[in-house]
Amino acid sequence: MFDSQKIKKDFPIFEKHPELVYLDSTATSLKPRQVIDKLVEYYTQYSANVFRGIYKISEKATEEFEKTREKIAQFIGAKPEEVIFVRNTTEAINLVAYSLGRKIVDKSSEIVVSLMEHHSNFVPWQQLAFENGARLKIINIDKQGRLLFSPEMITRRTAIFALTYVSNVLGTINPVKKIIKQVKKANPNTIVIIDGAQAVPHLKVDVKELACDFLAFSSHKMLGPTGVGVLWGKRELLEQAFPFLYGGEMIREVRLEETVFKEPPYKFEAGTPAIGEVIALASAVEYLEKLGMEKVREHEKELISYALERLKEEFGEKITIFGPEEAEERGGVLAFKFGSYHPHDIAQILDSLNIAVRAGHHCAMPLHQALKVEATTRASFYIYNDKEDVEKLIEGLRRVEKVLG
């Protein structure tokens, strides 16, 4: 495992809050000093708009901005011209739904999504199906939180197949490479969109190996700033898609009679972007690359294995942990039901002990309805967590029993 105490020294928030046990990285990760310094560098040294200025600091900003595009492309095995900057995973998926979905989905179409999707990868497809009269098909899960996918679900009418790589509740790591291969074999024309928000920060992801059509993920979940997301898409599909927004910088030529748009990715990047935040994202990628994504995965796997064992050992049948029992099949996410205590009460008591967890439905209400729980408590781990944090969580849950029992 990593020396998490050493890694914590890179995160200024622990200087301000040395007692903090941060177990909510699935919602948003903490930011290392290198990322913060890069953001400050932009605002203090070359805080100008990109692409538009024929002067040194604007050219510097543009250069750094485009370096991030190249860095992201390299990180996911893509080409820079296929990388689009948006605000977050939500906007990335909505971009595909509006720009391409509305073009290819009609009353004869089917859209396939899973029960475990975050609302960001469920509601856009649900609404597109409603608006265009398409059929929405749901892939169910088994008792272990594994996907019950069958290639027979894909027909000649399947226009869209949308799936999360890693569930933000169950922690389930879906066998996306295998599933995509089955989908494409059943219908080569089906467009496959992968929600990589919980995968790209934690696993080695290569879009060429996955063979998906689109991949969406967020900066803020992978040590980067908020306000930046990434959509990767195959070039030919990006060329087919309509622009998502119209305005400055995505235009090649405007006449009274017509407008000619730029080529992708710029066709989808209207207006002034989050320049400093995009530039700082490159530093987050560099930080993860230095650690090594394989090592990041191994660290989380060892930590989640330890947490699963210790929580069951300590609380037995009092605690119900949702998702696969084997650490090999799940990411660093633990959503659980603890006795009859409400997750909000649990989270509040843990907060009094400086332990930060998430309570609620985690933007996955259909999944919680299927699990027959209104809400869960979720602890999630990342590179700055260690086994001591697991023990503190256990101590916190003992305190919950004492206070509420």
- 331-371 per-position pLDDT tens digit: 999 999 999 999 999 999 999 999 999 999 999 999 999 99
From residue 37, how far is each of 45, 150, 182, 305 by CA, in Å?
Answer: 11, 48, 45, 34
Fold exhibited by the domain 35-289: Aspartate Aminotransferase; domain 2 (3.40.640)
pLDDT at 52 over 90: no
pTM over 0.85, yes/no: yes
Q: Could you tell me the two tokens for 5?
A: 């105490």
Q: Nearest to residue 336, comparing CAs of 133, 145, 192?
A: 145
Q: Could you tell me the two tokens for 383?
A: 């590179």
CB 170 within 8 A of CB 324: yes
Active site residues: 363
Please provide the average confidence, as pLDDT, over all residues in the chain.
97
Q: What is the DSSP letter of 141?
A: B
Q: Please report, as a single letter, which amino acid is at residue 256.
A: L
Each domain of the chain, given as residue ranges in start order, spans 35-289, 292-404
- Cα atoms found within 13 Å of the Cα of residue 63, Cβ hemisphere only: 8
Specify the CATH class of 292-404 in words.
Answer: alpha beta
Note the pLDDT tens digit of each residue in 127-185.
999 999 999 999 999 999 999 999 999 999 999 999 999 999 999 999 999 999 999 99
What is the structure's pLDDT at 405? Answer: 85
Note the pLDDT tens digit of each residue in 196-248.
999 999 999 999 999 999 999 999 999 999 999 999 999 999 999 999 999 98
Torsion of Cα atoms, 355 then 385 then 331 then 217, to 10°: 90
Q: Give the position of tokens 């933000």.
A: 168
CB 95 within 8 A of CB 86: yes
